[in-house]
Structure 1
């Protein structure tokens, strides 16, 4: 039995990037042997095991044979006779098809190190086209390593385009598509991810409403904004900025199609409703108060904070306005409802008086900023 570090950990180690997780391939072993050594099998039909101490993933070397359409239609062979090279050849990109043995030696049968130096994302073999999920993965890698100058090899991009034209991408589940989108939001340049999908026709197939409004100007505008945000900490904010050009009907259709997480959809609906209204020329005390009400400032202040952080990224004027809105929110939240009740107001009258007092506070903070 031999164990090799494989995939992303080897790639990122060579790129001198932080390694987030380690995956291993085991050659010359069986499920029974690994279980006897204390490894825990993940699932029943797939030869992946968790290390008894580190919980890292160890997969038996395997080959795959296409048995149906989509990314799940494969028959696996993971007998002890499967070699390391046979396992690596089934992988998507040459930079992901390298292994490292226990002595630190790199096994690189498909010239992944050379492609790292050339900053090239190139498919390993024609087996690439058997798995449509790889279209999204390559787009995500192009976005993640864009800052290093990586590009997709022309032959790989052509292959991706052919896969889209054949309709393979339509076999992906909406949940799997969303997972790749969310990873790309956290990776960094979601605009590059979108550019790649647009270039090969996948954006029109997956997100036609966005495809119709996506161009070089939109990509460049988003790229400029993204330089001022920490991606892993603010994926929801990036999501809002990415889809800010879509109207309410478009968003509802997308939500029905992809079933976005509620936290993402909620933030996006609020952002698209209020970001255009809250310019220095359009903001009014009524609009501001409505924003506070819809974000439920009174019970869920974090929703307004997320909106303001996202809104501030749109430009210098929006950043100034976001700071003023934050100051206003803190003062408006101090309006005492109990004092209103003590004055004898009841039922709907309480809300009416609250709105009057809150609007007054808003106008006091903004002064003459609102249009007459």
Structure 2
């Protein structure tokens, strides 16, 4: 039995980056031997075990063969005869197909270290094209390592394009797709993920609603970058620069989908794009089974982001309706994330990235004022049930009018 550290742990050590998760491959062992040493089995499809003390994953060296469509369409074979090189060749990229023993002696049959030094993301073998999930994975790695100057090898990009055209992407499950998308959005340059998907033709398959934004103009006076797709990428970039959470980044990606539905004869204006985009946002949410908090914020940002930009101009009654829509009394964090998404939208414009966004503090102040209206005096006056709700609404409206007048001075 020989044990090797493999994949990302080796890659990141060589890059001088922190190593968080460690994967191990065991060569020359059987399932029975692993169980006898106290390892606990966890793999339903192939032999993966948890170390009895560390809890880290140890997988028996294995080969795989394509047997169906999609990410799960593979037959695995694990036995003591499978070599380390045979196990590594089934991996996606050369930089992920390296291994090292406990003395840090490197096994690198597919020149991953050379590609690390050259800053190239390159597939290990033609078998790359058998797994459609790898299109998303490579795009995610491109986003992760863009700041280090990595690019995708032309021949790998060509295989990704072939996969995008093959119909295999449609066989991916929502869960697997979302796992890659959500991880990619949390990288330092998530816009690169979208750019790569678009370049290889995957974006029009996975997110045609986002793909449709490219080439759609906006009024230059408000959007110097003009192109709606470029604007979306810039908003996503800003969300990463400002360390926004996944909910905000997802909303930033989807906030302008309605602009893709505007007839060409109406360009560059996009009247009511907020309302038109709601059905598209809901469709994308459902397609990837995004978490509930991501879904809710994306819909609300899509519907109300222009309200955010016009906050200082809104009537007190409209401002109250906005606050009510977000349930700022019970869910203040969601409204804070809405404000953040609006600010990223405003900053995601060419040449305006550093412009201040006074609407943010104004909206926060309005929420504080509305939340500050006490219920107890109304109860003491005898209000209850629906009448209490209406009385509370009147008091909040009165408070917001006073706030608006004071802010204007």
TM-score higher than 0.5? yes
The equivalent of 2:251 in structure 1 is 240
Q: Which of the residues 218, 221, 228 maps onto 2:231?
A: 218
| 2:315 aligned residue | 284
- Provide the residue aligned with 1:323 in structure 2: 361
- Aligned 1:104-123 pairs, distance under 5 A: 104-123=104-123
Tell me the CA shift for residue 249 of structure 1.
1.3
> Cα–Cα, structure 1 residues 66 and 220, in superposed 2: closer, same or farther, change >3 Å?
closer
Alignment of 1:1-372 (within 5 A): 1-214=1-214, 217-218=230-231, 220-222=233-235, 224-230=237-243, 234-246=245-257, 247-280=277-310, 282-313=313-344, 314-315=346-347, 319-367=357-405
Q: CA deviation at 1:145?
A: 0.7
For 1:75 and 1:227, locate their aligned partners in 2 and report how far apart those are by CA, in whole Å.
Answer: 39
The 10-residue stretch of structure 1 (168-177 or 29-38) with the greater mean CA deviation from structure 2: 168-177
- Does the 8 A contact of 1:189 with 1:226 survive in 2? no
How far has the Cα of 1:176 moved from its partner?
1.2
C-alpha distance in structure 2 between counterparts of 1:44 and 1:195, whole Å: 35
Offset of 1:164 from its aligned partner? 1.3
CA contact (8 A) 1:190 1:242 kept: no
Task: Flag structure 2 segments of 5+ consecutive residues without an equivalent.
Answer: 216-228, 258-276, 348-353
Change (3 A) 1:255 1:190: same
Aligned Cα RMSD in Å? 1.9
- Once residues 313 and 250 of structure 2 are traced to their aligned partners in structure 1, the CA distance between those partners, rounded to angstroms, is 24
What is the CA–CA distance in structure 1 between the aligned matches of 2:99 and 2:109, rounded to whole Å? Answer: 9
CA contact (8 A) 1:192 1:219 kept: no
Deviation at 1:20, TM superposition (A): 1.7
Comparing 165-174 with 295-304, greater Cα deviation is found at 295-304
Aligned residues: 368
Q: TM-score, normalised by structure 1?
A: 0.93
Question: Any conservation in 2 of the 1:312–1:320 contact (CA below 8 Å)?
Answer: no
Q: Mark the CA change 1:225 to 1:70 in structure 2 (over 3 Å): closer, same or farther.
A: same
Change beyond 3 A, Cα 1:134–1:209: same
Q: Per-residue CA shift, 1:71-96, capped at 9, x if unaligned? A: 21222121101110011011100000
Contact 2:191 2:237 (C-alpha < 8 Å) held by counterparts: no
